[in-house]
Amino acid sequence: MTNQDWIDVILIMIYTRYRISEVLNIRKSDIDFINGVIKGGGKTSKGKNRIIPIMEKIRELVIKRYDDSKTEYLIDNRNWKIKADKMNAKPLRENYFRNKFYEIMEQLGMNHKPQDTRKTLATLLSKEGMSESIITDLMGHTDIKVTEKYYIHNDIDTLKKAMKKINDIN
């Protein structure tokens, strides 16, 4: 796969809120292009089998991966040499993808962890004033406190805008 292919997968992670294991386990059968959703997820009871809208920003990336995948999974490594036939039906290995993630970050001069993809969208949702129920549903959390503690990070501009709103009220 090219660097752009790996960047595309990282963008899919950001805009689906999926962890590495979740994005790598998306099967083509989990994707409903007619309704524009992906069914998947894991880790928590609320996170399992959640329906995630396919955002326009990644729709073409998902379609391309879907069409190009040689397996039943959305994400496959087109250059991965399968050593055993029994591996053909398996998803891409998490450690392999994690290594590629860090390689891409280094090449881009960025210092991010895979978990930061979830933090990025949680923070964007919060900045846009989405309700707690929408944020927790999309993140697969049962409590907004988890999301706020571990995922939402307000930058200085967001804090300034909030203070300006308060100032404008008075």
> How do residues 106-124 score in pLDDT, each as one tens digit?
999 999 888 888 777 777 7
Do residues 16 and 23 make contact, with C-beta atoms less than 8 angstroms apart?
A: yes
Asked if residue 135 has pLDDT above 80, the reply is no
Distant-in-sequence contacts of 145-153, Cβ < 8 A, 24+ apart: 147/122, 150/119, 151/118, 151/119, 151/122, 151/123, 152/119, 152/122, 152/123, 152/126, 153/119, 153/123
**pLDDT reading at 19 higher than 80:** yes
Question: DSSP letter at 2?
Answer: -
Q: What is the mean pLDDT of the chain?
A: 79
Q: Is the pLDDT of residue 87 over 60?
A: no
49: confidence class by pLDDT, cuts 50, 70, 90: confident
In a 3-state reduction of DSSP, which class is residue 32?
A: strand
